[in-house]
Amino acid sequence: MSSQALSQNKERFELNLGPQHPATHGVLRVKLLMDGEYVVDAEPVLGYIHRMHELMGENRTWAQYLPNMGRLDYLSALSYNLGYVELVEKMAGIEVPERAEYIRVITTEMNRISSHLLWFGAFVLDLGGFTPLLYAFDDREQILDLLEAVTGSRLTYCYFRFGGCYNDVEDDFLSGCLAFIKRLRARMPMYHNLVTKNVILRQRLEGVGPISAEMCRKYGATGPVLRGSGINYDVRKNEPYSVYPELDFDVPVYHEGDSMARYMVRMDEMDQCMRIIEQAIAKIPEGPVRAEKVPKMIKPEPGDYYHAVEAARGTFGIRAVSDGKNQAYRMKLRSPTFSNLSLYQEASKGMLLADALALMGSLDLVIPEIDR
């Protein structure tokens, strides 16, 4: 590819971005073919943090595989916990107590806010603004403290169990969530004044890196990338699971398809997460948090099963094939940013390198989840 291109145009040169580069947020390498400051071709090179999670799924019992879920997308680990336990509950026919469902929703949405806050800080950092990162991490720290109290960990959560949650939440946690929402609500206008309305940011993002709805469809992009391209698709709404149908929230959709639209989708999503948490806390019933009859040895009926949830970055799907044993015959993990990144090569063609990095930031990549 490169030698041919070089012979056609001597101005072109190859540039290696990563795998150790702050803008790639992990160990992602991008092989760039440049014409001056313009990107001719950008080929992502994956696999630097590949751990073969899918093979691990085949040599662990269903329960032993649970901790792996926190190590895919470590920034929104609870969504992955939720997807996996719901799949196994679907396979084994386990009923979940209602209180546990509400706890799952509250903690998952708190986790989604913390993930978006981290993305917000890191994304603005990519664009050269250091200060917002410090504010975002200050807020995110509050969530980590709250979730640490119930889940026992700050990052790679493994909190949900088949048929419920590991333990009940205390009133301190619920009131802490409400206090946090009050705090974040008060700080959102500051974020918008400081960052969203910032003329430098707007000029870096508006009209930059357009991704059409059709391109999203052809590449299977989901989540905020898809919703920033004008498609109203959210698994929580379109394919409801847990108690989301009982909660009233909107799906933010922006039609511009540029980096700014994806930025706005995530900022608005944080507001919606807060709405969901408030309603869930108001509605949470008393009761047990673990189903009574959960078999110690789970042996689902042979066959294959699929379950999808809305993770912070898009549709996380699991396809599990059971042969009736207490281990999966095959465990396929469909991670959202894998598909979201796959459109990068096409979407970044002809962009300035600095804009291409803004585009990459707006995709919100988490490399351990891409490489699995």
Least distance from another protein to the Cβ atom of residue 207, Å: 24
In sequence order, which ranges of 22-152 are alpha helices (DSSP H)?
Answer: 53-58, 77-92, 98-126, 131-151
Task: Tell me if 372 contacts another protein by CB under 8 A.
Answer: yes
Rounded Cα distance, 214 and 226, in Å: 10
Task: Tell me if 295 contacts another protein by CB under 8 A.
Answer: no
- Choosing from 6, 19, 35, 58, the residue that interacts with another protein (CB under 8 A) is 58
Number of residues that bind another protein (CB under 8 A): 46
> Buried b / exposed e across 150-169, counting CB within 10 Å, b at 16+?
bbeeeeebbbbbbbbbbebb
Of 5 and 178, CB closest to another protein:
5
Residue 118: partners with Cβ closer than 8 Å, 6 or more residues away: 75, 136, 137, 140
Of 145 and 304, CB closest to another protein:
304
E strand residue ranges, 138-292: 160-161, 164-165
Of 119 and 233, CB closest to another protein:
233
Rounded Cα distance, 333 and 321, in Å: 12
Of 12 and 319, CB closest to another protein:
319
Asked whether 96 and 89 are in contact (CB, 8 A), the reply is yes
Of 135 and 249, CB closest to another protein:
249
Rounded Cα distance, 66 and 69, in Å: 6
Judged by DSSP in three states, 350 sits in coil
Of 237 and 290, CB closest to another protein:
237
Site for another protein in 182-221 (CB under 8 A): 216-221
Task: Tell me if 251 contacts another protein by CB under 8 A.
Answer: no
- Choosing from 5, 6, 27, 46, the residue that interacts with another protein (CB under 8 A) is 46
Of 63 and 321, CB closest to another protein:
321
- Choosing from 54, 98, 246, 271, the residue that interacts with another protein (CB under 8 A) is 54
Rounded Cα distance, 40 and 346, in Å: 10
Rounded Cα distance, 153 and 351, in Å: 41
Rounded Cα distance, 170 and 67, in Å: 23
Handedness of CA 189, 190, 196, 199 (dihedral sign): positive
- Choosing from 22, 47, 189, 245, the residue that interacts with another protein (CB under 8 A) is 47
Task: Tell me if 342 contacts another protein by CB under 8 A.
Answer: yes
User: Which of the ranges 121-129, 171-179, 198-206, 299-307 carries the binding residues for another protein, by CB under 8 A?
Assistant: 299-307
Residues that bind another protein (CB under 8 A): 46-47, 50, 52, 54-55, 58, 87, 90, 216-222, 226, 231, 233, 238-239, 302-308, 315, 317, 319, 321, 323-325, 329-330, 332, 334, 338-339, 342-343, 346, 371-372
